[in-house]
Amino acid sequence: MILTIQMPDDSLKHVLPPLDRLKVFEASARLLSFSQAARELCITKGAASYQIRMLEEELDTRLFKRSVRQVLLTDAGQLLFLTVQQVFAELGGGLTKLKRTDNRDVRIGATTYVAARWLSPRIASFTKRFPQISIVFHHAVNTDEFSLDDVDVAIQWGKCKGEESKDRLKELPMSLYPVASPGLVEKFVGCHNDSLDPQAVLLCEDRSQDLWGEWAGSDALPNQKLVVSDANVRVQLAIDGQGLILADDMMRSEIDSCLLIAPFERCLNGYGYILRSDPQQKANRASIAFRDWLLEEMSS
């Protein structure tokens, strides 16, 4: 038998930036902080800044807008962030399927928005209790392609039913309410009559998940809508004054710091985050421990 091996095309070599550089960019873009990214990756802030600078030079474009107190993504940075997230999610999923230890890793489905804003501040308590368990994230949790078979547990956005079932373990209801930058509120929002100026741009999710119409109720919404699938990017666009966004209390830090303002009293209820798992999937000790911990956190 003759085995033929096709050698890789030399023209593809060195097309991609180094993986470590992309990891630093992903963390910096997700956290909007070189310092926090450095702490997460166990490197110095100087090393993180250097990797970002090298990446910008390699791509010949600015990825971040730097200020004294924070960094923000440029348009090019937002585009690269979406691409890197998708690639890392696919790579992580593929590696997880190749290497799976029965009792030492947990696969959790959660968007980067939920992971950064809700799980990240809490996860230290779990890792302190179970230092031997590793957590692998699957971020494409609200897409049509996602299946509960891909993870041990998932935190998904959806309609709250007020009841538990075999695959719906817990609900975390959250009200939705419009927020915008202070400048945009002053320009476009009719604060006294709870109405939106038709000129204001509404930032929304994919059309199938757009809830602006439900929030408005019987009121007409002739506004232009800008579809942005990634919630973190929508938040950044709202801070930049590019439109209004439907917020939940996971954006509390931006609201408390007045980067975003909630000008209306009207809220949309009946939605929230749902902890789900596949009842047909055999749970291991690690996933059971993590699921129980999540139930505790969601209850508190």
Both 168 and 276 in a single domain?
A: yes
Neighbours of 253 (CB within 10 A): 10
Question: Which of 81, 112, 137 is at the close of a domain?
Answer: 81
Exposed, middle or buried: residue 179 (CB in 10 Å: 0-12, 13-18, 19+)? buried
pLDDT digits (tens, 9 = 90+) for 248-287: 999 999 999 999 999 888 899 999 999 988 888 777 788 8
Domain count for the chain, please give it: 3
- 196 compared with 96, residue with greater pLDDT: 196
Looking at residue 54, what is its pLDDT?
94
Angle (CA) 112 139 169, round 5°: 95
Does residue 10 sit within a domain? no
Both 121 and 250 in a single domain?
A: no
Does residue 244 sit within a domain? yes
| Mean predicted lDDT score pLDDT of the chain | 84
pLDDT at 1 over 50: no
What CA–CA distance (Å, rounded) separates 188 from 204? 17
pTM, two decimals, is 0.62
- 270 compared with 150, residue with greater pLDDT: 270
Both 113 and 238 in a single domain?
A: no
Does residue 91 sit within a domain? no
CATH at residue 39 = 1.10.10.10
Looking at residue 99, what is its pLDDT?
55
Q: How confident is the model at residue 218 (pLDDT cuts 50, 70, 90)?
A: low
pLDDT at 13 over 70: no
Looking at residue 194, what is its pLDDT?
63
Looking at residue 96, what is its pLDDT?
63
Question: Which of 50, 81, 112 is at the close of a domain?
Answer: 81
CB 112 within 8 A of CB 139: yes
Both 140 and 252 in a single domain?
A: no
Question: How far lies 74's CA from each of 42, 202, 247, in Å?
Answer: 25, 20, 22
Does residue 8 sit within a domain? no
Q: Which residues contact 39 (CB under 8 A, 6 or more apart)?
A: none
Q: Considering the chain, what percentage of its residues have pLDDT values greater than 90? A: 37
pLDDT at 159 over 50: yes
Neighbours of 76 (CB within 10 A): 15
**Alpha helices of 176-230 — where are they, by DSSP H?**
182-188, 212-216
Both 29 and 109 in a single domain?
A: no
Both 221 and 247 in a single domain?
A: yes
pLDDT at 145 over 80: no
Both 170 and 276 in a single domain?
A: yes
Does residue 235 sit within a domain? yes
Both 291 and 150 in a single domain?
A: yes
In this structure, the strands spanning 271-276 and 153-159 are antiparallel
What CA–CA distance (Å, rounded) separates 89 from 79? 16
Both 131 and 165 in a single domain?
A: yes
Does residue 89 sit within a domain? no
Range of the domain at 148: 100-174+272-299
Both 56 and 138 in a single domain?
A: no
Both 167 and 288 in a single domain?
A: yes
Tokens of 36: 């926090």
Q: Mean pLDDT, to the nearest integer, of 184-191? A: 74
pLDDT digits (tens, 9 = 90+) for 50-103: 999 999 999 999 999 988 777 899 999 999 999 998 888 888 777 766 555 455
pLDDT at 219 over 70: no
Q: State the chain's maximal CA–CA distance in angstroms.
A: 81
CB 215 within 8 A of CB 195: no
Does residue 5 sit within a domain? no
Does residue 94 sit within a domain? no
Tokens of 279: 């009842």
Could you tell me where the beta strands, DSSP code E, fall in the chain?
Answer: 64-66, 71-73, 105-109, 134-138, 153-159, 168-173, 177-179, 189-190, 195-196, 202-204, 225-227, 244-247, 271-276
Both 184 and 210 in a single domain?
A: yes
In this structure, the strands spanning 202-204 and 225-227 are parallel
pLDDT digits (tens, 9 = 90+) for 123-133: 888 988 888 88
Looking at residue 193, what is its pLDDT?
56
Q: What share of the chain is helix, strand, coil (3-state, %, to 5)?
A: 45, 20, 40
Looking at residue 192, what is its pLDDT?
46
- At 199, the amino acid letter reads Q
pLDDT at 10 over 60: no
Looking at residue 141, what is its pLDDT?
76
CATH at residue 107 = 3.40.190.10
Looking at residue 6, what is its pLDDT?
47
